[in-house]
Structure 1
């Protein structure tokens, strides 16, 4: 009699184990049936553009920028700030070197400005990322082009080309 009980008990445990292994799995994230829960919500200091991104987004320097707003996020060893740029230096173009754009390499930031009624860049300015202000400004002649240069004597090259010749200026 005692043996029979053990067989029934062992059989019941075996049935429970087998049915547990083949039971349907619960919903998983990304399978279309699961509803994700919000884990946290953080207020963004700069609204993203229409595509959902920022023209300036540098994690190394901690910079976010769109339109006329440029923000440095506070982090370990760096102070945060918010700068409202002059209309001439609004960072709205995703193509560096065109008017209204920015070069960001490491902690160096150069803004390429464009003035109303003028084709192409009108001026370039260097940003001091520690203080959150424009450190220098250089006026450009009409028709100039701006390029970022990674090594050598300068960081930014400005080309002023006229029929028959070009003048190249390097700024650091």
Structure 2
């Protein structure tokens, strides 16, 4: 189960501002009920300030009231809703520093074995930019002498499933034309 932001601060706020039992708070925050009891007795958090889960839209007042009325009920975390979730945008692809030097090799491999793959598809698949792809295509990349094509799946820049999806999309478009 997903935990709230700042679980200890959230637990302190729930102890101070609600009538929830220790088991309910412990289950929601991912602690043991004895840890919650220690927080309530000010044994482990002498100067810690509570973190309001209602203000941060992690809980609703109705959810807290429901669980206060039923000691066996468990609090449930509200899903985080932001503009990207609503619009269906994907997060940018993060590539670890240790794999960034492999990206030009993966681009060269895709250009060599799948020349029909468009630049935007390569960008989405590998998390790269169009200028990077163009510099590798035209051999003007600063390290073009050392670029050797390597499969992006084997290098770890994408999964085989992601690559297969892009290839299926290419095949679907070529059949339609």
TM-score if structure 2 supplies the norm length? 0.20
The answer to which structure has the higher strand fraction is: 1
Provide TM-score, normalisation by structure 1. 0.20
Higher RCO (C-alpha under 8 Å, 6+ residues apart): 2
Q: If you compute each CA radius of gyration, which structure gives the higher value, 1 or 2?
A: 1
Structure with the larger helix share: 2
